[in-house]
Chain A
Amino acid sequence: MERLIYVSESNIEESEADAVIAQIVANSQSRNAQLNLTGALIFTGTHFAQVLEGCKKSIDEVMASVQRDRRHGAVTVVDRSPINERQFSKWAMAYQGPSQFVSRQVTRLIHTTPGAEQKRATEWLTQLAREFLKP
């Protein structure tokens, strides 16, 4: 089993954002459930960040469609590592909104150099997503 985290730049018009995101979430939810993928999506208005957990084949399949998707670009895979257990029980939208704080956490992922610092930023964002999904 693997965990992948990527950050991408949104190409979505602000005025259409709510409708487009709702559609993305609905599609992803059913597809990821079929592929047995868990994780979370964060949308800050300018960027997406997504955590995906599952088998390699499922993650590859989703990433292939992510790369083709014109609604976002500059897809940067920040981390892809083997995992023993999942941190998310399902796939869900963790946060969508104007928080500058969340936005900084997301952009920090692409602006840190790979290594320990990026690993920490990755972990922090995963925990942030988990916290948002707590009831």
Chain B
Amino acid sequence: MLNEDTSVPREVDVCPAGASQQGNPIYVIDDDVQMRRSLHFLLSTAGYVSWSFSSATDFLDNLPDLEPGPILIDVRMPTIGGIELMKMLVDRGIRWPMMVMTANADIPVAVQSIKLGATEFLEKPFDFETLEVSLKAAMIQLAVVKKADEVRKISLRLFDLLSPREIEVLMVLIDGQPNKVAAYQLSLSVRTIEMHRANALAKLRVKSLAEVIRLARDAGIALPQRKLA
């Protein structure tokens, strides 16, 4: 991770001016040092906190310690290119807004990056106003993502409390099977099914299977298609 602003003492970066108003940091990944410097200068002048990385590897190495923030990615970089980096981020479940920059704008690359979820595709050189419009949209999107991630984390933590048996019973019931059929399928008594069901609902702090389904959706857990209305 680089801080490109060499003229400013390092301590300033610990508590950057305007950080509290602007909130999330912006990550710049570009092998071109001039581009990193100029973006860092423009972003900090506009009151944003920005961190630069000279390669995809450098960014990925630091990723576990980074706060969520919009990512500005250059397309053409040695070793791991921008598109490849986006794929890796998507695979890792990173849903922070991604914006792509390139000097050689061609349609296939633009479409590929948009399909990968890039919110913006900037043709270098671009003016800072264009970038700022996209950054504002990206910050709004980031807030939505952060909230959804938070909800997912809380919901997942609840599901972690369930025993494998309770999960099994819930899955069969959500599948639309009556207790009797569930009991038969799992070779349990109806009473045991009812007990597991009640315990599971209590642990998940919900009162109905419909709420379990909603919670599972929040947690990003795949459920069998429910056959009952």
- Check B93 for interface membership: any CB of A closer than 8 A: no
Q: For A95, A102, A127, A131, which residue has the most chain B Cβ atoms within 10 angstroms?
A: A131
Considering only CB atoms, which chain A residue lies closest to B131 in the complex? A100
> Chain B interface mostly helix, strand, loop or mixed?
helix
Q: For B111, B118, B122, B137, which residue has the most chain A Cβ atoms within 10 angstroms?
A: B111
Q: How far is the CB of B111 from chain A (nearest CB, A)?
A: 4
Considering only CB atoms, which chain B residue lies closest to A102 in the complex? B114
Considering only CB atoms, which chain B residue lies closest to A131 in the complex? B111
For chain A residues 79-117, which have a beta carbon within 8 Å of chain B? Answer: 95, 97-102
- In contact, B111 and A100 (Cβ under 8 angstroms): no
- In contact, A101 and B137 (Cβ under 8 angstroms): no
Considering only CB atoms, which chain B residue lies closest to A128 in the complex? B107
- In contact, B137 and A128 (Cβ under 8 angstroms): no
- Check B219 for interface membership: any CB of A closer than 8 A: no
For chain B residues 95-134, which have a beta carbon within 8 Å of chain A? Answer: 107-108, 110-111, 114-115, 118-122, 130, 133-134
- In contact, B120 and A99 (Cβ under 8 angstroms): yes
Query: Which residues of A sit under 8 angstroms from B119, Cβ to Cβ?
Result: 98-100
Query: Which residues of A sit under 8 angstroms from B137, Cβ to Cβ?
Result: 98, 100
Considering only CB atoms, which chain B residue lies closest to A134 in the complex? B111
- In contact, B121 and A131 (Cβ under 8 angstroms): no
Query: Which residues of A sit under 8 angstroms from B130, Cβ to Cβ?
Result: 100
- In contact, B107 and A100 (Cβ under 8 angstroms): no
For the complex, give the distance between the alpha carbons of A49 and B115 in Å.
19
For the complex, give the distance between the alpha carbons of A105 and B110 in Å.
12
- In contact, A97 and B107 (Cβ under 8 angstroms): no
Considering only CB atoms, which chain B residue lies closest to A98 in the complex? B119
Q: How far is the CB of B98 from chain A (nearest CB, A)?
A: 11
Kindly list the 9 A-B residue pairs having the minimum CB-CB distance in the complex, ordered from nearest. A101-B121, A131-B111, A131-B107, A100-B134, A100-B120, A99-B114, A127-B107, A132-B111, A128-B107
Binding site for A on B (CB under 8 A): 107-108, 110-111, 114-115, 118-122, 130, 133-134, 137, 141
Known: A99-B119, A101-B122, A127-B107. 11 other contacts (CB 8 A): A98-B137, A99-B121, A100-B137, A101-B114, A101-B120, A124-B107, A128-B107, A128-B111, A131-B107, A131-B111, A134-B111
Binding site for B on A (CB under 8 A): 95, 97-102, 124, 127-128, 131-132, 134
Pick 10 A–B contacts, CB within 8 A, sort by A: A95-B114, A97-B114, A100-B119, A100-B133, A101-B120, A124-B107, A128-B107, A128-B110, A131-B110, A132-B114
